[in-house]
Every structure is written in C-alpha cells, then in structure tokens.
Amino acid sequence: MSEVVLKDSVPRSGEFNDGKMWFHRKGSIVTIGITSSAVEEIGEFDGIDFPEEGDDFDKGDVFLTIDGNLGKLEAITPAAGVVTEINEAAAEEATVVSEDPLEEGWLIKIEIQDTSDLQEFALPS
C-alpha cells in the first residue's frame, strides 16, 4: 500500500477554524476545504454532512461536519453567505477529501456578502 502524499500547493487566500480549514476567494465566490493537518487529526473519514445548495449562513455558523475514526470536525463559515455549489465527488465518496484536500477535495463554494469578513483570516502575501 502506498503512502498518501498531501500537497500544499493550492493557492489559498487564507485559513480559519484554527488552521483546519482553507479558503480561496475569487470575487465574491469563496471555495472552502480542509487542510492537510485537519485530515491527519480526523483520521479515516466515516462521513461528511454537507449543507444544501442555497443554504444561507452567518459568519461563524457551523455549515458542515466531518466524522472520522480519530475525531470530528465542525466547520464554521469564515463569512456570511449562500452555498452556491457542493463538491458532488466529495459528497459521493469522502475519500476524495482525505486523499486530496487542497485540490479535488474542496468541499463547498459560497457567495459571500462582505469580503471584509475574510480579512482576519487572510494569509500574508
């Protein structure tokens, strides 16, 4: 069995949720995923509880839960917004997220209301 190598090469705009979540912003659309370190903390994924497209969240709301054999992650939103897309591949097979959390394993996209909500989480340029 080969070892999974987690890549940290995805362009990220910032991290939140104590460094367990990443986001990438293009305009008002924010793609959200989990970091490699969060994958290690959660362990083997047992399931992901995704929101529905069109769900509306306030900044700091829990929008998604990931259960694993080593722990659970309740993901909070870094900004208020509406879910515009869910990664269907990840919804069908959670290993997509654990094997490639920074690219193919992104979780959701939200359209945010105020980009200034993200400033406190931005990575230095």
pTM: 0.84
Angle at 29 between CA 122 and CA 54, to 5 degrees: 125
Average pLDDT in the 65-76 region? 93
User: What digits encode the pLDDT tens for the residues 83-103?
Assistant: 999 999 999 998 899 899 988
pLDDT tops 60 at residue 2:
no
pLDDT at residue number 6: 39
pLDDT at residue number 91: 93
**Using CA atoms, how far apart are residues 105 and 98, in angstroms rounded to an integer?**
7
pLDDT at residue number 31: 93
Task: Give CA 56 to chain center in angstroms.
Answer: 16
What is the 8-class DSSP label of residue 77?
A: -
User: What digits encode the pLDDT tens for the residues 10-34?
Assistant: 456 777 778 889 988 899 999 999 9
- Phi, psi of 98, rounded to the nearest 5 degrees: -70, -30
Fold of 14-117: OB fold (Dihydrolipoamide Acetyltransferase, E2P) (2.40.50)
What is the 8-class DSSP label of residue 120?
A: G
Give the closest residue to 48 by CA, choosing from 22, 102, 86, 103: 86
pLDDT at residue number 8: 47
Q: Within 10 A of 38 (CB to CB), how many other CB atoms are there?
A: 24
Confidence category of residue 113, pLDDT binned at 50, 70, 90: confident
- Domain parsing of the chain, residue ranges: 14-117
Confidence category of residue 3, pLDDT binned at 50, 70, 90: very low
pLDDT at residue number 12: 67
C-beta separation of 86 from 97 below 8 A: no
